[in-house]
């Protein structure tokens, strides 16, 4: 299994709210002869650039409205947005990184309560709100989980004394731990180096454990306590569970814990791709 927890992320689109002065500048420079205006979207993810560019062209083709899509370089979105928002033709659509990121851009957002994207949301609770004001609409949602090698797990299930009969049996931590521990004990028989890929401690793996994995205990703590903005402190209600899964990653790994500082995210990807975990 690859110890990658996929981020439950909600990509939030915000519409820029212009002051009177800015609106005037925008009107004089952005409007076209037919009065249709134009859209400027500052894209967050470089890997989605081609899709956004294609969508922009299709939208322009069907509506006649010019759409500009600019993509920030990886890990430079906030910096790029700060630069672009100060220009006379600032982005009309941009991303805010949830309630925390919203605090930096709250003075630049419009109320989206009456927009079609908001009305079309099946679950309106996922929208970003500031009081009764809808300030962000999710355009992408991902989910949490562990990626596993189906062939390797089937091979394990076929061994004597396997802890499960099907992957569906893994529906709680105790069962996951029992399976991982048993796979680790049978790694030579299974032809693997470990149950989990290496949990590398270099910066290329920060997102896996400091961001994605840590989101779960924080999310459920904030949900339980009805926290809706950046708290002054974190109680750590579910940090013991966070430690449990992290300890399991370290114990049942392809790599000895003392060697993890030399492992990278690419190493983990390679181990998984080669069927070593």
Q: What is the pLDDT of residue 100?
A: 76
Q: How far is 116 from 252, CA to CA, in rounded Å? A: 49
Q: How far is 118 from 238, CA to CA, in rounded Å? A: 32
Q: How far is 138 from 121, CA to CA, in rounded Å? A: 9
Q: How far is 118 from 112, CA to CA, in rounded Å? A: 7
Residue 91 in contact with residue 40, Cβ under 8 Å?
yes
Mean pLDDT of the chain: 85
Q: How far is 252 from 90, CA to CA, in rounded Å? A: 50
Where residue 9 falls among pLDDT bands split at 50, 70, 90?
Answer: very low
Q: What is the pLDDT of residue 7?
A: 38
Per-residue pLDDT tens digits for 240-251: 999 999 999 999
Q: What is the pLDDT of residue 65?
A: 94
**Structure-token pair, residue 58:** 């299709």
Q: How far is 73 from 81, CA to CA, in rounded Å? A: 11
Given a cut of 80, whether residue 142 has pLDDT beyond it is: no
**What SS3 state is found at 8?**
coil
Residue 198 in contact with residue 267, Cβ under 8 Å?
yes
Given a cut of 80, whether residue 260 has pLDDT beyond it is: yes
Report percent pLDDT > 70 for the chain. Answer: 87
User: What pTM does this model have?
Assistant: 0.67
Q: How many CA atoms lie within 13 A of 146 on its CB side?
A: 24
**DSSP string for 94-130:** EEE-HHHHHHHHGGGB---TTSHHHHT-S-GGGSEEE
Per-residue pLDDT tens digits for 36-83: 789 999 999 899 999 999 999 999 999 999 999 999 998 899 999 999
Given a cut of 70, whether residue 85 has pLDDT beyond it is: yes
Structural domains in the chain, CATH included, are 10-141 (3.40.190.10), 150-273 (no CATH)
In sequence order, the β-bridge partners of residue 109 are 16
**Residue partners of 66: CB distance under 8 A and separation at least 6:** 32, 36, 38, 39, 60
Per-residue pLDDT tens digits for 88-106: 999 999 998 877 788 889 8
């Amino acid at each position: 299994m690859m110890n990658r927890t996929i981020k439950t992320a909600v990509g939030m689109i915000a519409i820029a709210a212009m002051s009177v002065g800015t609106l005037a500048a925008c009107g004089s420079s952005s409007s076209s002869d037919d009065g249709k205006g134009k859209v400027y979207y500052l894209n967050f993810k470089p890997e989605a650039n081609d899709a956004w560019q294609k969508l922009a062209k299709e939208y322009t083709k069907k509506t006649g409205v010019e759409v500009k899509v600019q993509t920030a370089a990886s890990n430079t979105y906030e910096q790029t947005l700060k630069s672009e928002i100060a220009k006379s033709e600032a982005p009309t659509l941009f991303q805010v990184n949830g309630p925390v990121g919203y605090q930096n851009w709250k003075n630049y957002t419009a109320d989206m309560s009456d927009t079609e994207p908001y009305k079309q949301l099946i679950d309106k609770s996922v929208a970003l709100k500031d009081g009764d004001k809808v300030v962000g609409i999710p355009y992408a949602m991902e989910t949490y989980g562990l990626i596993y090698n189906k062939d390797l797990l089937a091979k394990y299930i076929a061994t004597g004394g396997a802890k499960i009969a099907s992957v569906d049996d893994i529906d709680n931590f105790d069962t996951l731990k029992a399976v991982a521990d048993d796979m680790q004990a049978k790694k030579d028989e299974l032809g693997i180096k470990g149950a989990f890929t290496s949990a590398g401690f270099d910066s290329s793996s920060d997102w896996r454990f400091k961001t994605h994995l840590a989101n779960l205990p924080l999310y459920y703590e904030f949900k339980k306590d009805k926290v809706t903005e950046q708290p002054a402190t974190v109680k750590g209600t579910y940090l013991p569970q966070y430690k449990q899964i992290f300890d399991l990653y370290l114990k049942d790994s392809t790599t000895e814990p003392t060697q993890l500082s030399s492992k990278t995210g690419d190493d983990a990807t390679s181990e998984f791709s080669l069927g070593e975990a």
